[in-house]
């Protein structure tokens, strides 16, 4: 099995090398960069960086700050609860 694995790995490496050596894909270069040797000009795609200023917008108005409502008093949670057996239960 190890020999089979080694032969498969060799075959995959040969296939990868063939694919990587093909000169079919595009080459992306920053605008103004020279084309490297061995690359045809037809394959080169130039990338240009353009900065765009955003349009001016009116200042965002935030809503008014409203005071929070007072919390319920802790005494409201001390009322007994009832269940079907009518035995008093409390909240812990």
Please check the confidence at residue 86 and state whether its pLDDT lies above 80. no
Average pLDDT, the chain: 78
Give all strands (DSSP E) within the chain, no chain letters: 27-30, 44-47
Domain coverage including residue 47: 24-51
In-domain check, residue 18: no
In this structure, the number of other CB atoms found within 10 A of the CB of residue 44 comes to: 14
Residue 6: inside a domain: no
24 has a pLDDT exceeding 90 = no
Q: What is the pTM of this model?
A: 0.36
**Would residue 15 count as lying in a domain?**
no
Number of domains in the chain: 1
Mean pLDDT score, 61-75: 74
Percent of the chain scoring above 90 in pLDDT: 8
Residue 46 has pLDDT above 90, yes or no: yes
């Amino acid at each position: 099995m190890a020999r089979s694995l080694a032969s498969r790995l060799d075959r995959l490496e040969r296939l990868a090398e063939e694919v990587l050596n093909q000169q079919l894909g595009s080459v992306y270069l920053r605008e103004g960069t020279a084309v490297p040797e061995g690359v045809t000009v037809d394959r080169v795609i130039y990338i240009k960086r353009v900065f765009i200023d955003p349009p001016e917008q009116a200042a965002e108005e935030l809503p008014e700050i409203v005071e929070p409502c007072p919390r319920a008093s802790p005494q409201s949670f001390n009322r007994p609860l009832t269940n079907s057996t009518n035995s008093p239960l409390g909240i812990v």
